[in-house]
Amino acid sequence: MFEIDTPKWHVVYIKPRKEEVVKVQLERIGIKTFYPKVKVVKKGIEKVEPMFPLYMFAKFSVVKDFFNVHFARGVKRVVKFGNQVPSLSEEFIEYLRSVNGCLIENKLGIKESDCVKIVDGPFRNFTGKVLKMKRGEERVVVLLKAMNSLTLEVPVEYVEITTERKNA
């Protein structure tokens, strides 16, 4: 039997810096919320940031609570595709809870000022210098040697540290 009225986890798009307001508003009307965060290291300082900035998870019945959630203070909208409001599995939310607050690390050990070689994408085999780590160290800004002042932003997986640094 298809139970459309069963409370399920949904994604709610919220206004900037309104996480607490939305949490209080929704929990006041009996709706569970979850706003996962992660620790990241930026410029040597550990910070806590939202895992999905501006997106919160809320467990509610679409039939019964959609408008209460959609019009709650601090909410921009409930995420939907056409007329469909997608739901998330309990297992997915439990997984997010298990990694909530964990440290996200740059497992490749790349940092600012490293000499790197681009190993994937249209600039493959070009070398350069890492100018900046971006978005929790998942992307890097590289100054290409061959093109003097051309900088580009690529996923950290697209670069590897060159031999110059590895042997240093």
> Mean pLDDT for each 10-residue chunk of the chain (168 residues)?
76 96 97 91 78 93 96 96 92 90 69 86 83 74 74 84 58
Which residues of the chain form CATH 2.30.30.30?
115-166
pLDDT of residue 64: 95
Fold that domain 115-166 belongs to in CATH: SH3 type barrels. (2.30.30)
Q: What is the pLDDT of residue 1?
A: 42
The answer to whether 35 and 21 are in contact (CB under 8 A) is: no
Q: What is the pLDDT at residue 8?
A: 96
* CB 129 within 8 Å of CB 112: no
Q: What is the DSSP string of 117-155?
A: EE-SSTTTT-EEEEEEEETTTTEEEEEESTTTT-EEEEE
Q: What residues does CATH 3.30.70.940 cover in the chain? A: 8-104
Q: Tokens for 84, please give them.
A: 């469909």
pLDDT at site 56? 96
Task: Tell me if the pTM is above 0.85.
Answer: no
Beta strand segments in the chain, E: 8-14, 32-34, 37-42, 45-50, 55-60, 75-78, 103-104, 115-118, 127-134, 139-144, 151-155, 159-161
CATH topology of domain 8-104: Alpha-Beta Plaits (3.30.70)
pLDDT of residue 165: 45
